[in-house]
Structure 1
Amino acid sequence: MALLEAGGTIVTVVCDGVGSSPRADEASAAAIETASAALARGLSHEEAFELAGRAVTKLATSLDDAPACTYIAAVVTRDGGVTLGWAGDTRAYLLPAGTMLTEDDAVETGEITAWLGADAEDAGPHVRTLPGNARPAPDLQRRPVALPGRLRLPHGGDPAGAGPRDAAPRAGLRRPGQRDDRLDPPRRSAWVTSPLSR
């Protein structure tokens, strides 16, 4: 996972390798490095996703040897606004309520329907916005969120969205006026303190 700050904007990207694909860890690493750099430069979620997809696709030697990964990225702006971009079943939660902010790209039996890789369909990411210091966006009216809160993007090996704060490794970030120095490696979940308001 990548967790960085650029010009007051916080960027985090989490990718999980698709277990049925070869060299899935390489796919995750390539997507994370590419997307986090793009988002830190101010590119949109769609642009970062496209660049990450190209990076993963370059790893393939054929459609039978195509590394793949799921994807989620979050950008937190100075005013506490959050934008999310994702594909697959890697999720984002708003704590402490445990509200899931994403929707899985998966069928009822669990197989995912969207991912990054040479064998993936040509589709863009889902994008969702939680504005800071503003009314909830229309697409969130059907899914109320308790504000303020902490944004969590768990790694695939740490899927619980609303467990106790100390139950899993995490990465903390400080926003103005909020302090959290408890950083525990290895970083398998991204925790972002975001002063979201109604």
Structure 2
Amino acid sequence: MITQEDCASCTDERDAGAAFCENCGKALATGAGLAIGKDCPSCGAAGVVGDDGYCGNCGMLAARPRDHVEADAGPVAAAVTDRGLRHHRNEDALWLATRGADVDVVVCDGVSASFDPDIASETAAEATGKVLALAAAELAESIGAAIVASASAVAVLATTGDPRRAASNPACTIVAACVRGTEIGYGWVGDSRAYWVPADGTAVQLTEDDSWAIHAISLGVDPQAAWNDPKAHAITAWMGADAGPVAPRTGTFFAETPGHLVLCSDGLWNYLTEPAAFAGTVRAAVRDTDDLLGAARSLVDFANAAGGSDNITVALVPLNTPDS
């Protein structure tokens, strides 16, 4: 069964991880990171920011509901997305749904150079998540089909809504995974990543970035020179009307030892480019906090403390453990 939460405004049931109620449009309690009583960064007044993001003292918009979103499935999975410190909005989006110990998780990162990248990422995350709920036994194949279907939904955005979308098509990257027992099916387009971080031993980056640097290295360019090039992080595949046919890459991994599946946007991994450093930071977050949500928050805090130059999204799913 998909974990549900009730909308306080209209009592409609929504999937865990959804930030807004599709029935009435209000921010959901677990989706909106702003709780009533948050301090206002504009005037400094304490405890005056409401759940609509506006300060009750100065009236300024302190934050948007998507600036910080959390999805909590207890010991089964958790995810957090955050605006970071430099961007004026959060262009990342996430989807997290659980049915018992089964987990579907999606992380999308809007392409900032496009128009409405935040809408693109939200559209892709939701469309992929809804298709994954119907995933068949062949997980990787199901994920690939879900990503292709959501790519069509993102492409349609260029012909709807604001006419400026036609000139600069809304676009995003995606990484998605399904967890069934110890099996992980995953797929991606772009440079959002999936990692397997065992409790001990070497971490594995499951995905390979669709980026200029990776392409150059495959053609024989010196890796250090490629990563030092200003074009290094330019993506070579994405979802959007100008992306052409979307061909997601997929894979399957079996967790033979305890550990965590981690999905994240480059707002986190850009500060931890080596798998060993990434794994060490994840393990420390899990070790030093009481629950998965706390660990996900800790990783977001790490990225913000390192500079917060991009939006940050991270999802954690434990496998092969007593709770998984």
Give the TM-score, by structure 2 length.
0.49
% identical aligned pairs: 39
- Unaligned ranges ≥5, structure 2: 1-93, 137-141, 160-164, 214-231, 273-277, 301-312
Greater RCO, CA 8 A, separation 6+ = 1
Q: Which amino acid aligns with 2:113?
A: S
Mapped contact 2:178–2:185 kept (Cα < 8 A): yes
Q: What's the offset of the Cα at 1:183?
A: 1.4
Which letter maps to 1:155?
S
The 3-state SS of whatever aligns with 1:5 is: strand
> What is residue 179 of structure 2 aligned with on the other side?
76
Q: Which has the higher helix share?
A: 2
- What residue in structure 1 maps to residue 3 of structure 2? none
Matched residue count = 173
Q: Could you report, residue by residue, the CA deviation over 1:105-144 in whole angstroms, capped at 9, with x for unpaired residues?
A: 11123211111100012032101101356xxxxxxxxxxx
What amino acid is the match of 2:192?
Answer: T
List runs of 5+ in structure 1 lacking aligned partners. Answer: 134-146, 173-179
Q: Does 1:64 align with 2:187?
A: no
Question: Among 121, 135, 146, which residue is 2:244 paired with?
Answer: 121
Q: CA RMSD in A?
A: 2.6
- 1:27 corresponds to: 120
- Conserved in 2, the CA contact under 8 Å of 1:39 and 1:45? yes
Is the Cα contact below 8 Å between 2:190 and 2:211 reproduced in 1?
yes
Whether 2:98 is the aligned partner of 1:98: answer no
Aligned structure 1 segments of 4 or more residues deviating by more than 6 angstroms: 166-169
Given that residues 34 and 52 in structure 1 are in contact (C-alpha distance below 8 angstroms), is that contact kept between their aligned partners in structure 2?
yes
CA deviation map 1:55-100 (0-9, x unaligned): 11111136523100001001000x2100111010111111143321
Asked if residue 42 in structure 1 is aligned to residue 135 in structure 2, the reply is yes
Task: State the shift of 1:40 in Å.
Answer: 1.3
Matched, 1:16 2:109: yes
Cα 1:69/1:168, change in 2 over 3 Å: farther
Instruction: Work out whether 1:189 is the aligned partner of 2:314.
Output: yes
Task: Flag the structure with larger Rg.
Answer: 2
Alpha-carbon separation, structure 1, partners of 2:172 and 2:147? 12
